[in-house]
Amino acid sequence: MLEQIADILLNHNKFIITTHVNPEGDAIGSCMALKAMLEQMGKTAWIINPDSTPRMLEFLDPEGSIMVYEKAACDPLFAEAEVHCTLDVSEPKRMGALAEPVLNSKLIKVLIDHHPGGEHYTPYAYVDPSAAATGVLLYDLLEALPIELSPDVARFLYVAIMTDTGGFRFPNTNSKAHHVVARLLEVGVDPGALYTEVYEKDTLPRFRLFQKVLLTTQFAADDQLAWMICPRGFFDQTGTTNADLEDVVNAPRSLEDVEVSLLFSEPEPRHVRVSMRSKNRVAVNELAARFGGGGHDRAAGAVLEMSLEEAQAQVITAAKEMLAGLG
């Protein structure tokens, strides 16, 4: 499949690249890496995403080349492009407002992803759930193309892999991720500098939001389950948005007894986003699937169209059931 995808890239000239709603490091790093790889081959590529790039990742795109989908501005690009590449997306609905324009377009469609399961809407799908990050799969693609690894691409891929592995700490970290990262360092990636860019340039508003959300933490199931809430008022009170919640759900993982951590946020009324994380034993993508969501076994999510209270009640009951089932 990699060879077929490499041929598609080599034999066309104009590309659109898209990743998922609420993009994080793997999503933005992978988009920027693929765009840079295509440009190395003399091609034109536009990144069109459903949501804006979070502030902590804007340094990857200093020229602001990433576009947020707007029909009027983007339809002409869909008419001009030949190939659409979707990165780090397991199901079309995770492309938000782009799902319909992408699926209805006549473009050749390429999908590169590392989520298990999912719905592959194109025959040109390179999907490997054993990969720590989509960034690892883009490195495979690079090796199938007649280009050298550039320092820019290396930086983008490093951020993709560093963030999706939680700084090489989460259980998806594997030897292949480290092999790829070793290659990235050989062309000049500075791990300390990139760590600082991503994790040590936070804003006070986000820190205040973090404080407020942490104070809501509750525990159940012998402290194996932790959950936090972020009602809409928290965003207004701290001058933040939903994107500023990145990583907050991971905080309770530091507690020895916690197996599952949940964060309920309400960016819009009756639109509750649930972020789910687990440490070793609970497949949170199965928990998410019960509510129409999905993801990885240790990091998943869902959106529930109901009140914050109702969403908490339903998901916490289901999470307790899963923990009780572990015996």
Binding site for Mn ion (CB under 5 A): 26, 88, 134, 164
Nearest distance from C-beta of residue 115 to ligand AMP, angstroms: 5
Angle subtended at Cα 45 by Cα 44 and Cα 46, rounded to the nearest 5 degrees: 130
* Of the candidates 306, 312, 310, 282, the residue with the CA atom closest to the CA atom of residue 296: 282
Nearer to Mn ion, 246 or 266 (CB): 246
Nearer to Mn ion, 26 or 259 (CB): 26
Answer with the entry of Mn ion, ligand AMP, none that 135 interacts with (C-beta below 5 to 8 A by kind). none
Answer with the entry of ligand AMP, Mn ion, none that 132 interacts with (C-beta below 5 to 8 A by kind). none
Nearest distance from C-beta of residue 321 to ligand AMP, angstroms: 20
Answer with the entry of Mn ion, ligand AMP, none that 298 interacts with (C-beta below 5 to 8 A by kind). none
Contacts with 90 (C-beta within 8 Å, 6 or more apart), sequence order: 113, 115, 116, 117, 118, 119, 294, 295
Nearest distance from C-beta of residue 295 to ligand AMP, angstroms: 3
Residue nearest to ligand AMP (CB): 301
Contacts with 20 (C-beta within 8 Å, 6 or more apart), sequence order: 27, 50, 88, 89, 94, 95, 96
| 263-to-16, 249, 268 alpha-carbon distances in Å | 33, 6, 15
Q: Which residues bind ligand AMP (CB under 6 A)?
A: 22, 94, 115, 249, 275, 293-296, 299-303
Sign for the pseudo-dihedral over CA of 254, 258, 259, 260: negative
* Of the candidates 116, 188, 200, the residue with the CA atom closest to the CA atom of residue 158: 188
Answer with the entry of ligand AMP, Mn ion, none that 206 interacts with (C-beta below 5 to 8 A by kind). none
Q: Which residues pair with 228 in a beta bridge?
A: 263
Nearer to ligand AMP, 9 or 127 (CB): 127
322 membership: H or E segment, kind and range:
helix 308-325
Nearest distance from C-beta of residue 76 to ligand AMP, angstroms: 30
Nearest distance from C-beta of residue 114 to Mn ion, angstroms: 6
Nearer to ligand AMP, 135 or 294 (CB): 294
Nearest distance from C-beta of residue 246 to ligand AMP, angstroms: 7
Dihedral-angle region of residue 225 (phi above 0 means left; psi in -120 to 50 means alpha; beta otherwise): beta
Nearest distance from C-beta of residue 135 to Mn ion, angstroms: 8
The secondary structure of 246-309 as a DSSP string is TTGGGGGGGSTT--EEEEEEEEETTEEEEEEEESSS--HHHHHHTTT-EE-SSEEEEEESS-HH
Q: Which two tokens stand for residue 83?
A: 């190939």
Answer with the entry of Mn ion, ligand AMP, none that 84 interacts with (C-beta below 5 to 8 A by kind). none
Answer with the entry of Mn ion, ligand AMP, none that 302 interacts with (C-beta below 5 to 8 A by kind). ligand AMP
Nearest distance from C-beta of residue 23 to Mn ion, angstroms: 10
Nearer to Mn ion, 88 or 266 (CB): 88
Supply φ then ψ for residue 68, to 5 degrees.
-100, 135
Answer with the entry of Mn ion, ligand AMP, none that 31 interacts with (C-beta below 5 to 8 A by kind). none
Nearer to ligand AMP, 107 or 288 (CB): 288
Answer with the entry of ligand AMP, Mn ion, none that 164 interacts with (C-beta below 5 to 8 A by kind). Mn ion
Q: Which two tokens stand for residue 34?
A: 């693929």
Nearer to ligand AMP, 6 or 113 (CB): 113
